[in-house]
């Protein structure tokens, strides 16, 4: 699945605060995969100030990530959950649609 820098920052907003051990391990593995490396952050001037991420929007980073079926299914479940809770914000729409519509390659 190809994710932009913004989408990688937004993925953790899909996670529940409390969940099973298995789900929390999936969260950990997903976070390890999508972690933003120092060289990427420097390339786009990524900063985190007063609880807000900012970066040079003219510089784009898109990376392709391999997720397991369990990780994809977990992310899809989280999109369904936040949709049902009506807690999707405008900045999350593209990410949620991407995850919802993602088909696992066989």
What pLDDT, on a 0 to 100 scale, did the predictor assign at position 57?
85
pLDDT tens digits, 40-86: 999 999 999 988 899 998 888 999 999 999 999 999 999 999 999 99
- pTM of model > 0.75: yes
Task: Note whether residue 76 is domain-resident.
Answer: yes
57: DSSP letter? T
- Adjacent-strand bridge partners of 2: 64
d(CA 77, CA 6): 21
In a domain, 60, yes or no: yes
By residue range, what is the domain housing residue 7?
A: 2-101
Total number of domains constituting the chain: 1
* Contacts of 36 by beta carbon, 8 Å cutoff, 6+ apart: 5, 8, 9, 46
User: Is position 95 within any domain?
Assistant: yes
Question: For residue 28, is it within any domain?
Answer: yes
Is there a domain that residue 64 lies in? Answer: yes
Average per-residue pLDDT for the chain: 94
Could you give phi then psi for residue 86, rounded to 5 degrees?
Answer: 55, 45
How sure is the predictor about 106, in pLDDT bands with cuts at 50, 70 and 90? Answer: low
Asked if residue 106 belongs to a domain, the reply is no
């Amino acid at each position: 699945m190809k994710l932009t820098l913004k989408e990688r920052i937004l993925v953790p907003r899909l996670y529940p605060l409390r969940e099973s051990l298995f789900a929390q391990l999936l969260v950990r593995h997903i976070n390890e995969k999508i972690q933003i490396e120092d060289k990427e952050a420097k390339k786009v001037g990524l900063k985190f100030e007063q609880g807000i991420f900012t970066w040079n929007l003219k510089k784009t980073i898109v990376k392709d990530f391999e997720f397991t079926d369990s990780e994809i299914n977990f992310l899809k479940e989280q999109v369904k959950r936040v949709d049902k809770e009506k807690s999707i914000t405008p900045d999350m729409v593209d990410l949620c649609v991407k995850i919802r519509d993602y088909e696992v390659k066989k």
